[in-house]
Amino acid sequence: MKSPVYILAIESSCDDTSAAVISNTTILSNVTANQEVHAKYGGVVPELASRAHQQNIVPVVEQALKNANIKKEELSAIAFTKGPGLMGSLLVGTSFAKSMALALNIPLLDINHMQAHILAHFISEENTKLPSFPFICLTISGGHTQIVKLTNYFEMEILGETIDDAVGEAFDKSAKILGLPYPGGPLIDKYAQLGNPKAYSFTKPKVGNLDFSFSGLKTGILYFIQKQERNNPNFIAENRNDICASIQHTIVEILMDKLKNAVKETGIKNIAIAGGVSANTEIRKRLSKAEKYWGWSTYIPKFEYTTDNAAMIAITGYLKYIQQDYASMNVTAKARLKVTD
């Protein structure tokens, strides 16, 4: 095996086109083109997403190679997101990666996006510690909410998951009720920092020990807002920060309660968070506190590796490459894929 190994990774599962170059476990570049086009529709429009990926993929890959100062002839392998995600979006990355691996005659690595969110913790960074096995990862994104136990890189078990909406959807749908543009999660986070988290209280769902449910909370918030607006049509505008802080506080309480249950049930105190919602300020704060108060070892991803990015695909690609776990050229994109697949 050549050393160091250089891998180009491509992520195109939803609305971000991203490419990264990794040298063993160190990220050399990580370039992402966001798609602004969806904001005015209040959500990702699949047809527009795949079209934008087609426009973005060549410049994004070129930029990633340039930033890494690596020529494509130096690459050892190409990694790409196989799924889960939007089929039209996944196909752009899949066919691009296949053609490039074929042209360069190097191995192809097919990556599960949900595994990659978790394995982003193994990217080498100064001053960050790597998780030790076994550990528990709370995977919180726009499409998923799961508690996963890892006994090794690719040995994962789902201990609990949402029975309806994902936590990212809970943020985005609540934001929509408040008239905020998509994706509303980061905006709720921003306004929450100026508000009182105890101003309003929302009922927490009652579901299985390690499972989640967010659809009831969303309905509760909708009814609450409608009721308040009947008395004061300016309720949202006048209380935006407090409403956002209270919603965020409720969601983070739900997540922390489940993590506490998971620690109690498994005895494992190595706790990681991953996925877009792990960018949230309050969950990051609460987790750091848990380290101090409850003796947990916590792993909070670097901000840029929380929402969708190709760096996480690159590290997962490297971990598969060293096991020579290559994909065949017949591999196809999969819209639905479990973290354990």
Q: Of 121, 157, 165, give the one whose Cα is nearest residue 273.
A: 121
What's the closest the beta carbon of residue 299 comes to ligand KG4, in angstroms? 16
Q: Which residues bind Zn ion (CB under 5 A)?
A: 141, 308
Residue 16 CB, nearest approach to Zn ion (Å)? 9
Closest contact distance (angstroms) between CB of 234 and ligand KG4 is 25
With CB under 6 A as the contact rule, the residue among 11, 110, 161, 189 that binds ligand KG4 is: 189
Residue in the structure block whose two tokens are 């994909």? 327
Q: Rounded to whole angstroms, how far apart are CA atoms 250 and 192?
A: 12
Enumerate residues 115-144 that contact ligand KG4 by CB under 6 A: 141-143
Cis peptide before 181 (omega within 30 of 0): no
User: Locate tokens 């086009």: which residue?
Assistant: 37
Interface residue with ligand KG4, options 11, 110, 161, 172 (CB under 6 A) = 172
- Give the separation between CA 62 and CA 76, rounded to whole angstroms: 17
**Number of Cβ atoms within 10 Å of the Cβ of 256:** 17
Closest residue to ligand KG4 in the complex (CB): 276
CB 275 to Zn ion: min, Å: 6
Distances in whole angstroms, Cα of residue 180 to Cα of each of 65, 190, 193, 222: 36, 12, 16, 14
Q: What is the DSSP string of 265-303?
A: HH---EEEEESGGGG-HHHHHHHHHHHHHH--EEE---G
- Does 308 interact with ligand KG4 (rule: CB under 6 A)? yes
- Rg of the chain on CA atoms, in Å: 20
Which one, 23 or 278, has the nearer CB to ligand KG4?
A: 278
Which among 73-81, 184-192, 297-305, 333-341 is the span making contact with ligand KG4, rule CB under 6 A? 184-192
By CB under 6 A, name the one of 186, 205, 216, 220 that touches ligand KG4.
186
**Nearer of residues 16 and 76 to ligand KG4, judged by Cβ:** 16
- By CB under 6 A, the residues from 258 to 297 that bind ligand KG4 are 275-277, 279-280
The whole-angstrom separation of Cα 132 and Cα 149 is 12
C-alpha torsion angle, residues 98, 25, 304, 92 (rounded to 10): 0
Q: Verify binding: residue 88, ligand KG4, rule CB under 6 A.
A: no
Interface positions with ligand KG4 (CB under 6 A): 14, 141-143, 168, 171-172, 183, 185-186, 189, 275-277, 279-280, 307-308
